[in-house]
């Protein structure tokens, strides 16, 4: 089936967002994160099926993250000249193929390899999605378009582990991965139907990774991403033991549900305002997370404190991807794809750093130390964001604010 090949933003996008295409990008991100996190809810079943210990089974999540970490920058750099939709379909095809291999494999080494390559597909996807979303909309709606394209992220983060556990109780873990493959296959059709194609970058406009990294504003944004996401992942990774002293150990699913619902409201609010108030929203979001961590530090043993604090945390996190990737894309300009690949690398380092830091804190001082450690990371992020007033998180020019 031949579809029109568009080479510029969708006509009339200043009036109406191309929601169908943007949601296809969001579903790509949803599948990427769901593929990463779902095995955590299936560890006993997968371990039994592959005849390995829980510790070895957990490496299926680790290998996926390593694949994303190692592949994002080189794949994005090598494919700058490829047409956008071809790159997107290659990433989705990777989810389809490697989730299928995981579903049918009875070999632990083969499954590890499939998980690594699925992570590489995710690294490629994350280097495409934000820049692709910005190409599909008008200049005035780039932030809002990215908000729609990133809606799959908090959904998958909130639903990934519970969805894996639920599906594992209904069908086998192998069937669960086949369902993920079916979703990827359906997404291929959706992308061909609704997502416009764009040419790759002309050779004279391609930048090196070093050129993008030293672009003014890139390093402050990446630093804020790192400290913000380390703080988030300390709490998110160990949310189950953290809420146990409040008597919520058996209700982690409800805690995560409150996080996910609040995150959706955060995406909606940020999507409405990001094109005019990016800097203010970044500072307010960090401030809100700081308030949530303080509440958890003071009253984290009380359910009446935990639920609203987690909801505030979720609300601030929901719009974080939109805010940070918009800031990164604005700073990067022609280097937007490589900047997003750098973002993928930093984000995965923060996931690993948050998990490691949380493990040390848990083993040394216990879960009550989490809010105070989180507070330290957030204060650094807030200071960096506040300082980056000229590049990274610039204050809007009065004239541009009035025009918006």
**Tens-digit pLDDT profile for residues 102-126:** 999 999 999 999 999 999 999 999 8
Q: Are 64 and 81 in contact (CB under 8 A)?
A: no
Separation between Cα atoms, residue 187 and residue 173, nearest integer Å: 21
User: Same structural domain for residues 267 and 301?
Assistant: yes
Model pLDDT, residue 11:
40
| Helix ranges (DSSP H) in 336-397 | 336-364, 370-387
User: Same structural domain for residues 93 and 229?
Assistant: no
Separation between Cα atoms, residue 241 and residue 260, nearest integer Å: 19
Model pLDDT, residue 194:
93
Please identify, among 184, 201, 218, the residue that sits at the C-terminal boundary of a domain.
201
Q: Are 61 and 153 in contact (CB under 8 A)?
A: no
User: Same structural domain for residues 329 and 353?
Assistant: yes
Model pLDDT, residue 160:
66
Q: Are 351 and 230 in contact (CB under 8 A)?
A: no
Contacts of 373 (CB under 8 A, 6+ apart): 231, 234, 357, 361
Please identify, among 155, 184, 201, the residue that sits at the C-terminal boundary of a domain.
201
| Helix ranges (DSSP H) in 136-172 | 142-149, 152-170
User: Same structural domain for residues 184 and 230?
Assistant: no
User: Same structural domain for residues 90 and 221?
Assistant: no
User: Same structural domain for residues 175 and 236?
Assistant: no
Is residue 395, in this structure, part of any structural domain at all? no
Q: Alpha carbon of 72 to those of 112, 124, 343: distances in Å?
A: 19, 5, 9
Is residue 1, in this structure, part of any structural domain at all? no
Separation between Cα atoms, residue 11 and residue 222, nearest integer Å: 33
Sign of the torsion angle spanned by Cα atoms 97, 103, 104, 107? positive
Is residue 394, in this structure, part of any structural domain at all? no
User: Same structural domain for residues 255 and 383?
Assistant: yes
Please identify, among 149, 183, 201, the residue that sits at the C-terminal boundary of a domain.
201
User: Same structural domain for residues 181 and 241?
Assistant: no
Is residue 6, in this structure, part of any structural domain at all? no
Is residue 242, in this structure, part of any structural domain at all? yes
Is residue 4, in this structure, part of any structural domain at all? no
What CATH number does the domain containing 359 carry? Answer: 1.20.1250.20
Is residue 163, in this structure, part of any structural domain at all? yes
Domain count for the chain: 2
User: Same structural domain for residues 177 and 247?
Assistant: no
**Tens-digit pLDDT profile for residues 235-285:** 987 888 899 899 988 888 788 888 888 988 998 898 889 888 999 999 999
User: Same structural domain for residues 351 and 383?
Assistant: yes
Number of H helices, E strands in the chain: 17, 0
**Tens-digit pLDDT profile for residues 274-283:** 888 999 999 9
User: Same structural domain for residues 120 and 32?
Assistant: yes
- Where in the sequence is the domain holding 89, given as residue range(s)? 14-201
Tallying the residues shown for the chain, one arrives at 404
Separation between Cα atoms, residue 310 and residue 145, nearest integer Å: 27
Is residue 9, in this structure, part of any structural domain at all? no
User: Same structural domain for residues 381 and 280?
Assistant: yes
Residue ranges of the chain with pLDDT lower than 50? 1-14, 398-404
């Amino acid at each position: 089936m031949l579809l029109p090949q568009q080479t510029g933003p969708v006509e009339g996008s200043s009036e109406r967002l191309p929601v169908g295409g943007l949601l296809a990008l969001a579903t790509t991100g949803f599948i990427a994160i769901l593929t990463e996190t779902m095995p955590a809810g299936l560890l006993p079943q997968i371990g039994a099926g592959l005849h390995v210990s829980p510790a070895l089974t957990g490496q299926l999540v680790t290998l996926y993250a390593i694949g994303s970490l190692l592949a994002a920058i080189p794949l994005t750099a090598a494919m700058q000249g490829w047409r956008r939709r071809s790159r997107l379909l290659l990433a989705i095809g990777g989810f389809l193929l490697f989730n299928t291999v995981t579903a049918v494999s009875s070999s632990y080494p083969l499954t590890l390899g499939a998980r690594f390559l699925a992570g590489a597909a995710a690294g490629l996807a994350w280097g495409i999605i934000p820049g692709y979303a910005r190409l599909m909309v008008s200049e005035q709606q780039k932030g809002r378009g990215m908000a729609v394209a990133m809606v799959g992220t908090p959904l998958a983060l909130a639903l990934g582990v519970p969805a894996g556990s639920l599906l594992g109780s209904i069908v086998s873990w192998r069937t669960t991965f086949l369902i993920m493959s079916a979703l990827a296959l359906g997404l291929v059709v959706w992308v061909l139907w609704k997502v416009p194609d764009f040419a790759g970058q002309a050779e004279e406009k391609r930048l090196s990774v070093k050129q993008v990294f030293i672009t003014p504003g890139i390093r402050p944004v990446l630093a804020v991403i790192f400290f913000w996401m380390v703080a988030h992942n300390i709490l998110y990774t160990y949310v189950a033991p953290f809420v146990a002293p409040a008597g919520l150990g058996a209700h982690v699913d409800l805690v995560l549900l409150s996080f996910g619902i609040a995150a959706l409201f955060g995406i909606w609010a940020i999507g409405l305002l990001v094109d005019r108030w990016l800097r203010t929203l970044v500072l307010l979001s960090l401030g809100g997370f700081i308030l949530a961590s303080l509440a958890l530090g003071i009253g984290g043993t009380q359910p009446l404190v935990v639920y609203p604090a987690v909801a505030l945390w979720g609300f601030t996190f929901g719009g974080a991807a939109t805010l940070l990737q918009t800031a990164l894309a604005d700073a990067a300009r022609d280097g937007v794809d490589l900047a997003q690949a750098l973002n993928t690398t930093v984000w995965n380092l923060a996931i690993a750093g948050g998990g490691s830091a949380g493990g040390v804190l848990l083993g040394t001082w216990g879960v009550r130390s989490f809010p105070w450690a989180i507070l330290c990371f957030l204060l650094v992020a807030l200071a960096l964001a506040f300082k980056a007033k000229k590049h990274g998180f610039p204050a809007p020019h009065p004239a541009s604010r009035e025009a918006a």
